[in-house]
Chain A
């Protein structure tokens, strides 16, 4: 598989993920001289080869200008070992298919241009040709050979990803898909959280990949953070698994990729890749039971006496429901409602007042609290750091 290896080397030198996450358009990094020389070729390698058309390169370049780089879950900006392997295979497949496209398209364009009916020769039929065994044999054998090459390249990557053995420092996470949010449990570490997964960055010398066991509480879902790995489905009555091994710190976005019901669109997903120190700090904080302040005792009482506790758990309190996200450290999360809204006072209040106004069809009911109780409950939740 030397083509794959070669591609990976040339690519990694051209590809500087650190540039992409700074929020600037990549053009600024390349400098005017290189742009005029060879317009952002490096960045366009992945998609530029797709179908070989200039159309495609144009789009692949301009797409960076429209969004914060950190938020574009681009499969051609991998930041994790399995995503890298997929990326190398993808580029290889794109090159092969791009070449096929060029050859066949040229033949078609030539035929259309060359054999167009000429009015002068009207009325006469062209020579009637019925076929040619040699030619037909050629265009059978060549595709067979191409298929063989593609197959071996693919099988190799399937093996490297699906049959990887977890090294000693592996973090184990169980991800459980719910309509329409993610539950993350760290069985070895005694931590439960929702929607925002925290994992350590992996150092090649001391690998700390994260192996994720995938379960579903209700319907099919699919775990997809494009920059970290391909997607794997979460299917009821079935245990699936996948792994990531990020080599860059940062926040990576993804979302549910298997239609799971009304609010499939707002079942968003974030992965925070942190330095080992940060990660350990986060784990230590998450392990603590919920902080309980007297100032919000009223809110806590309302929470514990209404239906909230049927679905939500807050460790150190009577709330131990499992249908909804664990709220023990709600305020450590940047979003609520599986990423549908940022975690602000107003959004939190609005979410409790009327979840449908943020996420129509979500399974959380409107609690019909009066304004005073609503404020008290919100204040209580805001102490759950």
Chain B
């Protein structure tokens, strides 16, 4: 174990002109800079997607509201969903993975730095393409024609008959382009994790974050590929007169559903696995204990990876599959709750008997466990196909998947921001503002998404731009909308905290959390070469061994 990293200090170099700085960022192949680019890009789209959600919620605050037109509302929910999944959640997780994985496994960079840059710029281009539809949806005349087919774009709404103009073309091309970027990133993650670990770091001694990203990379390869193939087919339909999904020419609406959901469900795990990784790094450090049951955590992750590819048609319980088809997907969907449950228990086991320190990252992770528990339980309700026939396509489902995507994924992402901000910038964030943001977001989240389950149970379908009064939905929609404003304010506090701390934060030091993984052994921010000497590790917590030579981990593992 030798992780003393001697930096060749960059201080004293003359300041570069702005054009040089920008040029160096645009042309960079450094995994840390690309990671930060991914993260900033995702933050920008988070604000845009959040704004879209806010406008939709204002429209739904009372029945028969006229805040936006039905056409605009349909565009907003399409753009909100597409943006949040493809241009917020995936890029931000790729960003953290890019930044952290080489540091955590003691590598100099990702395996393919130029592929890494290429993947980022493809993703970035995809997002710009999507938003260009706002001006180019009808070929530059008639602005404001973003796609309005929903984020899963069921056929035949995407056929030329039902979607005239170019808005759907922008949608499909943008996912085609960013999909290729995602595949590139996944190849890079897998190659890096498999072949670039530092001496001594066997697969069994790798940080859990790297394990989760390894499985995530595999899932991306197997599931973004069908999505990308489906986009190619849709392009053929729209540009060359093919009929894969064109029902009026005998195409199959059903085929698109299968293509989309065989991507769509594993996608949830693509997003949530890295977040499990964040939680599995943050919870031990703030509990002052190693992760409980490392081997079973790894096994559960791998099991989720495999089983998640056999559950997709639980999104299709209402499309009229046979009873046996439904029963198969009930089994697989219920089965995946077992490895997921194991993870929750293991995080609890990690906290049990520890010395919990409720810094902001830990607060977000504890809230994550609580909310992920509820999201899992509503998931079990949805997995019971007959119950699903009632709940599917209703606001209950919207509440359920926002519980996963916001309550679990976004919460851990916030936690990760606070936890690694000192490493990335060398400065400490403002703890008071961090806690304020946490509580504002918790209040807003629960106002919005707890109460959103109710209108679903009372029969309110999703994707309606307005609703009838007198169906018992009004008050719940009002509460849901009120919660959105708490979340919006909280997000602004978060952005302010990041920006302000970047310039005015206290110097953080190399290891502010007294943590145990390799990234904390180098400087904050890490120099371009990461480690002056390649580290050598003997256990899962190399820095614990260094700090406690009398009681090293490798004696027990």
Contacts and interface: CB of A to CB of B under 8 A. Distances in A.
Interface of A: 47, 50-51, 55, 59-60, 62-64, 66-68, 71-76, 83, 85-86, 89-90, 93-94, 96-97, 100-101, 104-105, 107-108, 111-112, 115-118, 121, 125-132, 135-136, 139-140, 143-144, 147, 150-151, 153-155, 157-159, 161-163, 214, 218-220, 222, 224, 226, 229-233, 235-238, 240-241, 253-266, 268, 339, 360-361
A112 B366 contact: yes
A237 B287 contact: no
Interface residues on B, range: 35 or more
B70 A360 contact: yes
Contacts of B247: 236-237
Nearest to A63: B472
Contacts of A60: 454
Contacts of A361: 70-71
A230 B557 CA distance: 52
B196 to A, nearest CB: 26
B461 interface: yes
A55 to B, nearest CB: 7
A360 B69 contact: yes
Given A220-B154, A224-B393, A235 B353 contact: no
A86 B386 contact: yes
Contact of B319 (A89, A104, A235): A235
Contacts of B546: none
A1 to B, nearest CB: 13
B454 A75 contact: no
15 contacts: A67-B471, A74-B472, A75-B458, A85-B386, A104-B373, A115-B351, A116-B356, A130-B292, A154-B385, A158-B326, A230-B389, A231-B389, A259-B157, A259-B463, A263-B70
Given A67-B471, A86-B386, A256-B461, A222 B393 contact: yes
Contact of A230 (B294, B353, B390): B390
Given A224-B461, A231-B390, A63 B327 contact: no
Interface of B: 69-71, 74, 148, 150, 154, 156-157, 162, 247-248, 250-254, 287-290, 292-296, 318-320, 322-323, 326-327, 330-331, 334-335, 337-338, 341-342, 344-346, 348-349, 351-358, 366, 369-370, 373-374, 377-378, 380-381, 383-394, 450-451, 453-454, 457-459, 461-476, 548, 551, 553, 556-557
A238 B556 CA distance: 61
Given A51-B377, A150-B334, A232-B389, A72 B384 contact: no
A129 B252 contact: no
Given A155-B327, A158-B323, A261-B157, A237 B293 contact: no
Contacts of A263: 70
B380 A97 contact: yes
B381 A258 contact: no
Given A128-B289, A262-B70, A237 B250 contact: yes
Given A143-B337, A162-B326, A265-B466, A231 B318 contact: yes
Given A131-B294, A131-B295, A231-B390, A238 B351 contact: no
Contacts of B473: 67
A76 B553 CA distance: 54
A59 B373 CA distance: 21
B356 A127 contact: no
B150 A259 contact: yes
B389 A125 contact: no
A117 B459 contact: no
B162 A261 contact: yes
B393 A108 contact: no
A359 to B, nearest CB: 9
A44 to B, nearest CB: 12
Contacts of A50: 453
B6 to A, nearest CB: 28
B129 to A, nearest CB: 23
